[in-house]
Amino acid sequence: GAAVDAVAKGGETPYDIAKMRGHRKVMGVLDPVFVALLSGRSCKCSSYHETVQELKDEAEKKLGITIQRLIGVNMEPLNEAKTLEEAGVLPGHTLTAVIAPAAGQGDVSEEKQLAEDEGDLQNPNDFIEFLISANIRLVRAEFLIELDETGTPMPRRQEAEFMHVRSGATALVELGEYKELHVNQTSGHVTIRTAEGPSIVRFRSIS
């Protein structure tokens, strides 16, 4: 299929053309929502779906699993009856799929199942491992600040992947950088070594 960022003679991408012509289904395919498992397996789903349930159904078919629930970008369980807009699901977002218990394990509590499938995401070590395995590249605060200073709209994920900040670093954190993080097992603080010495790393969720 056509690449999302391929440019036509007039400078428009396939997504731009689909948007101009009102082809929402095509837009949903070109600018998808990603659904990932902790194992690292993931799939692209159309962002055109009306409800979270419809998105979940597509992910189940593509991943070949039964999904118990979807977890949003802010680590919140998504209500399947809500529309994608109501649930805050946007194109480019990566959702986490919690696999449903196998037959005969129906008595397993949701909390225990989540812990087994995803680990404790409040634990810095588990959270970092989750980011790596789910191929989630966080946005640098430096990039957001520069966008705000220049009045530039937030780009789509596939565009941000090739962008850089003034310092030369990539706009999105590289997966290899997560492996350089150090977690203090006593305080829980996360640090990374820099030329000036250890620097504390903070994760923030914004919408």
* pLDDT recorded at residue 101: 73
pTM metric for this prediction:
0.44
pLDDT score at 200? 86
Sign of CA dihedral 148, 149, 153, 154: negative
The C-alpha atoms of residue 69 and residue 93 are separated, in whole angstroms, by 16
Q: What is the pLDDT of residue 54?
A: 92
Check residue 2 and give its pLDDT: 41
Grouped pLDDT means (10 residues each) for the chain, 207 residues:
43 48 47 80 83 92 90 87 89 86 52 48 80 83 92 84 91 90 85 84 71
pLDDT at 121: 66
